[in-house]
């Protein structure tokens, strides 16, 4: 069950695509999880011009890399979000922006449909991304949010995402939602409710990223075991929790990344509190044989140091399960 290791390019989108390919190849990565921003992958160009996709494939081949997944977190975020504001304008392509928030949501939904088509043309079967949420702003529970308001949020998610998933079904691609604060599914129980809201349709699964679970107190190992049939993709990112001094808090006080007053921070894979070996044993147990994608985020470490180091750390844990039980040797 040897699994390939890829590099998610989202945090490298300030560099040209070919430069990221060269770096990943030099470090020994097997492929890329390509982000749909920067010049890394343009959804509309991929749909409009077959030579665009051919050029991407040729660049990957030049550096001995493969691609299993593309990711469009930024457009996905705007499908359900409320409010739509300056934060979205900063991350969305200009062509998706409008002064009317509902028009932004509709534009983003169409972009996610187009992303499924573009993924199929590239030859990949999984799109990773966010969903957004119309009820995330109620998470603090004050002013009190009535149950009807939460119900309406899940109904809104299903209403907006069913038509998107129809296109995913048509082209034979699956969507892997990254369970993440600010999304409709951000922890264990909201993931259960999200799958119920979407009627457990096969086109909608999960991108397992433990970095968003550890600081919330969610066990990433049991998450794998309990959602075994929905783990469509794996992202490896780590989190360091530092909340023992009575001053640091779980909400991190609006402090920037790497500020040592924060209660937790994203760190390079292997430098945090994710129980990686148990996680990989759980992935073995459920039979996950897809790519392991390193999402490198660490505001306190240079990425040219962290990305190759993370690759070596993960490779050291990707052992295959045994072909026979160890105690079989004792049987006559």
| Mean pLDDT value of segment 49-78 | 98
Q: Given pLDDT bands bounded at 50, 70 and 90, which one contains residue 329?
A: low
CATH number at residue 315: 3.20.20.150
Q: Are strands 238-241 and 264-267 parallel, antiparallel or unpaired?
A: antiparallel
The answer to whether 207 touches 159, Cβ cutoff 8 Å, is: no
The total of structural domains in the chain comes to 1
Q: Is pLDDT at 178 greater than 70 in this prediction?
A: yes
The percent of residues above 90 in pLDDT, for the chain, comes to 95
Q: Given pLDDT bands bounded at 50, 70 and 90, which one contains residue 323?
A: confident
**Nearest Cα to 4, choosing from 33, 31, 26, 34?**
31
| Mean pLDDT value of segment 44-59 | 97
Domain residues for the domain of 243 are 5-330
Positive/negative CA dihedral, 230, 123, 307, 255:
negative
| Mean pLDDT value of segment 12-35 | 98
Q: Is pLDDT at 332 greater than 70 in this prediction?
A: no
Out of 212-216, 312-316, 317-321, which region has the weakest mean confidence (pLDDT)? 317-321
Going through the chain in order, the beta strands assigned E by DSSP cover 5-8, 31-35, 66-71, 126-129, 174-178, 204-208, 231-236, 238-241, 264-267, 292-294
Comparing 324 with 256, the larger pLDDT belongs to 256
CA atoms of 210 and 274, how far apart (whole Å): 7
CA atoms of 248 and 264, how far apart (whole Å): 8
Q: Is pLDDT at 104 greater than 50 in this prediction?
A: yes
The CA R_g of the chain, rounded to the nearest whole Å, is 20
The whole-chain average pLDDT of the chain stands at 96
Q: Is pLDDT at 89 greater than 80 in this prediction?
A: yes
The answer to whether 189 touches 218, Cβ cutoff 8 Å, is: no
pTM of the model: 0.96
Q: Is pLDDT at 171 greater than 70 in this prediction?
A: yes
pLDDT of 322: 77
**Peptide bond before residue 90 is cis, with ω within 30 degrees of 0:** no
| Mean pLDDT value of segment 296-314 | 97
pLDDT of 1: 46
Q: Given pLDDT bands bounded at 50, 70 and 90, which one contains residue 263?
A: very high
Q: Given pLDDT bands bounded at 50, 70 and 90, which one contains residue 326?
A: low
């Amino acid at each position: 069950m040897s699994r390939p290791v890829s590099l998610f390019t989202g945090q490298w989108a300030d560099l040209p695509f070919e430069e990221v390919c060269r770096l990943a190849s030099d470090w020994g990565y097997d492929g890329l999880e390509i982000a749909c921003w920067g010049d890394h992958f343009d959804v509309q160009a991929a749909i409009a011009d077959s030579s665009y996709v051919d050029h991407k494939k040729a660049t990957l081949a030049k550096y001995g890399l493969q691609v299993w997944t593309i990711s469009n977190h930024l457009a996905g975020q705007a499908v359900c979000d409320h409010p739509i504001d300056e934060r979205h304008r900063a991350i969305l392509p200009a062509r998706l922006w409008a002064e009317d928030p509902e028009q932004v949501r509709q534009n983003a939904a169409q972009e996610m449909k187009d992303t499924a088509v573009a993924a199929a043309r590239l030859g990949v079967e999984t799109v990773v991304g966010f969903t957004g949420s119309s009820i995330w702003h109620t998470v603090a529970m004050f002013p009190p949010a009535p149950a009807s308001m939460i119900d309406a949020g899940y109904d809104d998610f299903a209403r907006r995402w069913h038509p998107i998933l129809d296109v995913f079904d048509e082209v034979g691609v699956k969507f892997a939602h990254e369970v993440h604060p600010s999304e409709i599914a951000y922890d264990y129980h909201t993931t259960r409710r999200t799958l119920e809201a979407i009627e457990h349709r096969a086109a909608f699964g999960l991108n397992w990223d433990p970095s968003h679970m550890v600081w919330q107190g969610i066990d990433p190992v049991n998450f794998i075991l309990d959602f075994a049939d929905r783990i469509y993709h794996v992202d490896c990112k780590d989190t360091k929790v530092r909340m023992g001094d009575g001053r640091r808090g779980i909400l991190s006080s609006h402090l920037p990344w790497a500020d040592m007053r924060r209660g937790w921070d994203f760190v390079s894979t292997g430098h945090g509190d994710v129980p990686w070996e148990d996680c990989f044993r759980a992935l073995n147990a459920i039979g996950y044989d897809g790519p392991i994608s390193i999402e490198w985020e660490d505001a306190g470490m240079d990425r040219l140091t962290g990305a190759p180091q993370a690759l070596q750390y993960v490779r050291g844990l990707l052992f295959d399960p045994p072909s026979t039980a160890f105690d079989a040797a004792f049987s006559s």
